[in-house]
Amino acid sequence: MTTGTIGIVANPASGKDVRRLVARASVFDNREKCAIIRRALSGAINAGAQQFAYLDDSHNIAGGALEELGYDCQTVGITSTGTNSALDTIRGAEELANRDCIATLILGGDGTSRAFVKGWRDAVMLPLSTGTNNVFPRMSEATVAGMALGILAAGGVSLEETAVPVKIIDVEIEGESPDIALIDAVVTTDQFIGARALLDGEMIERILLTRAEPTSVGMTSVGGLIRPLSDEEDLGLHLVLGKGGRSKVHAPIAPGMFETLSIRQCSTLNFDETVEFEGPCVLAFDGEREREIQAGQRVTMRVSRNGPSVLDIPRTMQLAACREWFKN
């Protein structure tokens, strides 16, 4: 039986940035990431998957996990660009798209998933949390996540039944290439990118969110503690911050790190509406500063579902159980 190919991307740099020093974020070392992939692969293979394509990262996380398991399956490694930056994930995503992977397991945080989508916009993903800001990745035992991928790859369920389109923020920058965010796009008064992590609430001018979750940390919590917004709602949430705001919110902007922010405006944004402004400013996407905007340079942001999909693990497992997929 021919099965679909499962992609694997593990970011060796995720879970190790400056927020381990200035906040209280956990560290995910590469041994733990390798163990997570081993469990996911075991689940996928026992559910029927036979073919895997993996990004050959600088620490051999995915390749090493495959070698240690010793299962009889077809694997192909995709050579990394070797930059030890988001470009490795972007180029890896492009290669996995060329190989028609049915879905891709991604280990990292929001930033890793964003980089992957920059390389493959309409990908089907299963992101597992090993980063700092972990709003987009799923919190799931890797064995079960792998089982869901294996069921899909082996034909036990279809993408139409189990792949859920998620929201995305498109950012158009006058005179430059566009950009994206999966959870939050933030405008700061910084003049330079500097350290990428967003740690100073006083520098934040506005926030556009696809989700506002009171149970998460980061920029999503700022909106979530005022006006919760789920991934299922076809809306974005737009916050304007600054002195003189009518309300204040005390929110965890990083793991274990709180800021009191003054909110001048909080409003939902329909998919056909835009947020427009001019520089100078710095734009941060999914928790990290990325783009410097010059004085007078125009920026337009909008929220839609014209992007990736995420494999629904509970739905996949429920359908497989009803269809007696694991019954001998």
- Three-state DSSP state, 4: coil
In whole angstroms, give the CA distance from residue 286 to residue 111.
6
Which helix or strand (DSSP H or E) is residue 186 part of?
strand 184-188
**pLDDT for the residue numbered 15:** 45
Higher pLDDT, 25 or 244: 244
Per-residue pLDDT at 320: 97
Q: Which of 40-44, 82-86, 228-232, 322-326 has the lowest mean pLDDT?
A: 82-86
CATH class, domain 168-304, is mainly beta
5-166+308-322 architecture in CATH?
Answer: 3-Layer(aba) Sandwich (3.40)
Per-residue model confidence (pLDDT) at position 68: 82
In this prediction, residue 84 carries a pLDDT of: 80
* pLDDT for 27: 63
**Confidence at residue 26, expressed as pLDDT on a 0 to 100 scale:** 58
Contact 165, 309 (CB under 8 A): yes
Looking at residue 80, what DSSP letter applies?
Answer: P
Q: Which residue has the higher pLDDT, 319 or 245?
A: 319
**Model pLDDT for residues 255-273, shown as the tens digit of each residue:** 889 999 999 999 999 999 9
The Cα angle at residue 186 between residues 255 and 127, in degrees rounded to 5: 55
pLDDT on residue 73:
83
pLDDT digits (tens, 9 = 90+) for 44-96: 999 999 999 999 877 788 888 888 877 778 889 888 887 888 899 999 999 99
| Residue (of 112, 251, 279, 130) closest to 183 by Cα position | 112
Average pLDDT over residues 274-290: 95
Answer positive or negative: Cα dihedral of 293, 299, 303, 308. negative
What is the residue whose two structure tokens read 């990118």?
Answer: 193
Rounded Cα–Cα distance for residues 186 and 194 (Å): 15
Cα(282)–Cα(7) distance, integer angstroms: 33
What is the residue extent of each domain of the chain? 5-166+308-322, 168-304
Confidence at residue 13, expressed as pLDDT on a 0 to 100 scale: 67
CB 142 within 8 A of CB 39: yes
CB atoms within 10 A of CB 226: 19
Q: Which helix (H) or strand (E) holds 43?
A: helix 30-46
Six-digit token pair at 265?
A: 């405006």
* 178 contact partners, CB below 8 Å, separation of at least 6: 170, 171, 172
Average pLDDT rounded to a whole number, residues 214-239: 96
Please, are residues 191 and 280 in contact by the beta-carbon 8 Å criterion? yes
